[in-house]
Copies of this chain bind each other. A is one copy, B any other.
């Protein structure tokens, strides 16, 4: 085996990884994560823990970009800080189990959706109730307010269901209903 061949083989491996990294980044882009954060995650997916400088080297970008990128990924709960002995630099590691990725990423969004929207619906209903219970208010308006109130009321079970979905993912119960097929 010559060095010439070895060089080409390394390139083949890097090419294969590159395909997957781009694909992951495209998917994350679909989910509203910026392309560069997605590429960073994809890169970390194939590495052990990395320092900011190692990321910068791999991606050819500036250190502040890596710093903010990693922070973003930490916010999505798909990258964690780790402790590598022998260096005083911070190191970070990507969540490599896609089931955990799914869980961390979507439950975070859904919890927030359920909370924010439910709070808002309650607040809007409170305001509508003022009209509905006010004897001074015109019947036509009252009826309109009631209709909107009802539409909002009908949305509430959805947010409760979303919370149940989150719970079943976090507890792992969902995998009893939808088992992971291990065979290829």
Binding site for B on A (CB under 8 A): 1, 5-6, 9-10, 12-13, 15-17, 19-20, 22-24, 26-27, 29-33, 46, 96, 98-99, 102, 109, 112-113, 116-117, 120-121, 123-125, 127-128, 130-131, 136-138, 141, 144-145, 148, 151-152, 155-158, 160-162, 164-165, 168, 174, 177-178, 180-182, 184
Flag if B120 contacts A151 (CB, 8 Å): no
Q: Which residue from chain B places its CB closest to the CB of A124 in the assembled complex? A: B16
The residues of B that contact A136 with a CB separation of less than 8 Å are 1, 5
Interface of A is mostly: helix
Given A13-B145, A20-B124; 20 other pairs, CB 8 A cutoff: A9-B141, A13-B141, A13-B144, A16-B124, A16-B127, A19-B120, A20-B152, A23-B120, A27-B113, A30-B109, A30-B113, A31-B32, A31-B109, A46-B148, A46-B151, A98-B158, A99-B161, A157-B181, A161-B181, A164-B178
If A120-B20, A156-B184, A182-B157 touch, whether A137 touches B30 (CB-CB below 8 Å) is no
